[in-house]
Structure 1
């Protein structure tokens, strides 16, 4: 890959990831209610899920998506149900000033990582996206090992940095919520976002 094609790929990917979708909504909701660090686990899970599908696409194994179609559907339902559960928990949660929340007990890294990973893994259409997206910037049939490493690095960095930026902004905003009524509204708004995202994911076949 040339420098120009690498920059073009990074920019195009940034635009795509920046468009609000389930990953963005889940990241914002988690960061608003729990802070930046818990959201990082979610972001890492999403990034690794993307890289999993990217590697499959680059290796020309999109057929795996068809073979494991039902498994992907089960994983998607698991992730959707967990998002719905998180939404309900936020709706009924007793409000507490966000600057007093114990970040160590609010949610675990592993739990958020699993949610992020299954959120992406439950959508095998990501394989098709990369299969249609990458050929515009490189020849997948003649990809060197260096190109492969570069693409994986670019995708991981751009997806991770973009979602982390969303999480940071949301975490910055949450610091100003000290009034219990405002916190309740914030919790319930984030709960609705997570619940709606989960329902939307579960409804797609």
Structure 2
């Protein structure tokens, strides 16, 4: 596969993965609605940081980590699934009005917005499988290292563009989401999505051992 085909495949699949609603972009939308666009942008930086971390792991560390810790991918999936289940519980049990959450715009609030974005990405099964399985399959180990700089720039640009679109269009949902019943339904739906993602990852990890 030549470089043009490799990069075209990478750009298309990354953009598609980012556009399809998942824990990361859905969380970004809620963060923007409840804490303002400033914290939404800070959370987007956290999301992008998580993606870059996984990209660098797939380029430089995945083979070494697998040799040092044979069950590395298993432990990573388990930790990610537990965190997703924790988030699912929080969304399911949330009571009240999302828009009554006060936006303090303090340094601590900024830090938590960045942390939320980073942790959601690091626990997102879709992100894990994309960078640790799909990306090496596109480029190959040697080609990945050669294209590190371009991959980082492309990844940042695509995620920044799509994340900014989510932040922008989330403001259009404010009138709809003023209805507490709609808020509750969306939160329950997001909770179920995260729960299904986590349980499906756990099932796929344990199934080979049960056969």
Which TM-score applies when normalising by structure 2?
Answer: 0.70
CA distance in 2 between counterparts of 1:139 and 1:198 reads 31
Count of aligned residue pairs for this structure pair: 194
Q: Is the 8 A contact 2:23 2:124 kept in 1?
A: no
Residue 102 and residue 87 in structure 1: after superposition, are their counterparts in 2 closer, same or farther (change >3 A)?
Answer: same
TM-score (normalizing by structure 1): 0.71
| 1:57 Cα deviation after fit | 0.8
| Per-residue deviation, residues 132-160 of structure 1 (Å, max 9, x unmatched) | 33553x45314566x21110121122123
Partner of residue 158, structure 1: 158
Unaligned runs of 5+ in 1: none
Partner Cα distance (2:70, 2:186) in 1: 32
Contact 2:80 2:125 in 1 (8 A): no
Question: Which residue, 82, 99, 114 being the options, matches 1:77?
Answer: 82
**Is contact 2:136–2:144 with CA below 8 Å preserved after alignment?**
no
Deviations 1:74-126 (A, max 9, x none): 3542343135314533xx21476x7xx74326992322322322222224664
2:29 alignment counterpart: 28
Query: After alignment, is 28-37 or 151-160 more displaced?
Result: 28-37
CA–CA distance in 2 between the matches of 1:111 and 1:43? 12
Do the aligned partners of 1:27 and 1:43 also contact (CA within 8 Å) in 2?
Answer: yes
Alpha carbon RMSD of aligned pairs, Å?
3.5
Residue number in structure 1 paired with 2:195: 199
* Change beyond 3 A, Cα 1:102–1:29: closer
Residue 53 (str. 1) matches residue 58 (str. 2): no
Write out aligned runs for 1:178-197 (5 A): 182-197=178-193
Pair 128,65 (structure 1): closer, same or farther in 2 beyond 3 Å: farther
Q: How many Å separate the matches in 2 of 1:22 and 1:148? A: 26
Taking a change above 3 Å as real, the CA distance of residues 123 and 23 of structure 1, as seen in their structure-2 partners, is closer
Q: Where do 5+ consecutive residues of structure 2 fail to align?
A: 203-211
Where is the helix percentage greater, Structure 1 or Structure 2? 2
> Per the alignment, in what secondary structure is the counterpart of residue 59 of structure 1?
helix
The 5 Å alignment of 1:61-100 reads 61-62=62-63, 63=66, 66-67=71-72, 69-70=74-75, 72-89=77-94, 92-94=95-97
Distance 2:70 2:116 in 1: 20
Higher relative contact order (CA 8 A, sep 6+): 1
